[in-house]
Every structure is written in C-alpha cells, then in structure tokens.
C-alpha cells in the first residue's frame, strides 16, 4: 500500500465517523426540541389533583380562570379553576398597607348535598401572591374564604362555583 492510499483511507474513515456523529447529534437534538405549539400535558386530572400544586402539575395554564373573588379587609382570595385539570385552588394576595393581621385563604370542596368534603388553606403574604394546593373534580362545588388569625375581622366567603 502506498502512503497516499493509507492517508486517503484514514481520511475516509475519519469523514465517515464525523458524518455519523453529526447525524446522531442532529437526531438527538430534534428529539429534545419540542415542535412549535406543542403543549405539555397536565400532571393530574380531577380528584387525582387533590392536594397537588397547580404550577407543578401544569394546571395553571391559559385555560385557567378566576371564577370567584372575595375581599376581606383588603386581603383577596380568588377561586381559580383549571379546565385542563378539572381542579380548583385559592390564590391570595394582600392589597393592604397594614400587614399587622395574619390572614388565611381557604378553598373548600362540597358534594352535591352541600356537605363539606375537604378544605385547604394558605397564608396571605404581606406582598405578592401565594396559592394553595388543588382540590379536583368537575362534579363538586367550591368556594373560597378569607379568615383572620384571632378573628379580628369576620370570616368572608364567596358563593359556591
């Protein structure tokens, strides 16, 4: 074999390996990059969402709406409903400049007979938003409430949804 033939053969093998690596890398990248418009599935559905976080379960998406709101001394509780997950939660925030009183937001889940089945709470932050875990199931009724530690102000609740 001539030196020229060995160089060409080595070069051809090297070029083939580079091509294989490039094709493999491109294929792996294509798998990792979602197509435009691809949505990620929710992590739970209906009663399977009970006591799970709306953000971590991908339930707080473009199909989420605020269906009830209650204001108690400038502490706001919103009943949030996800049609993607068929689940609800309470989102709370404080619009008062006086954070002296500790307030809590509650979400309550009722059956069709009006019996309270479950309740979850979250403390109202001095600033910003916070939210509870979810309670799920489209055949149930939900409401949100705001209460104050020490009962400085009376309990206020929304109508059921």
- Summarize pLDDT for 67-85 with one digit per residue, the tens: 999 999 999 999 999 999 9
Region of poorest pLDDT, from 3-7, 58-62, 71-75, 111-115: 3-7
**Whether 93 contacts 132, CB under 8 Å:** no
Residue that is written with structure tokens 């008062």 in the block: 96
Q: In terms of pTM, does the model score above 0.85?
A: no
Task: Please report the pLDDT score of residue 1 as a whole number.
Answer: 53
Instruction: From residue 149, give the alpha-carbon distance in Å to each of 20, 24, 123, 153.
Output: 66, 61, 10, 9
> For 23, phi and psi rounded to 5 degrees?
-65, -45
**Res. 40 pLDDT band, cuts 50 70 90:** low
Cα–chain center distance at 44: 10
pLDDT surpasses 60 at 24: no
127: tokens are 């600033």
Q: What is the pLDDT of residue 130?
A: 96
């Amino acid at each position: 074999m001539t030196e020229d033939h060995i160089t060409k053969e080595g070069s051809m093998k090297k070029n083939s390996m580079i091509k294989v690596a490039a094709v493999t890398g491109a294929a792996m990248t294509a798998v990792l990059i979602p197509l435009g418009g691809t949505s990620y599935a929710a992590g739970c559905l209906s009663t399977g969402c009970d006591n799970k976080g709306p953000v971590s379960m991908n339930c707080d998406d473009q199909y989420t709406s605020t269906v009830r709101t209650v204001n108690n001394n400038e502490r706001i509780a919103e009943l949030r409903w996800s049609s993607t997950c068929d689940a609800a939660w309470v989102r709370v925030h404080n619009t008062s400049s006086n954070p002296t009183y500790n307030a809590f937001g509650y979400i309550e889940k009722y059956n069709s007979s009006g019996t309270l089945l479950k309740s979850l709470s979250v403390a109202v932050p001095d600033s910003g938003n916070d939210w509870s875990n979810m309670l799920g199931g489209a055949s149930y009724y939900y409401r949100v409430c705001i209460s104050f530690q020490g009962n400085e102000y009376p309990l206020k609740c929304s109508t059921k949804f």
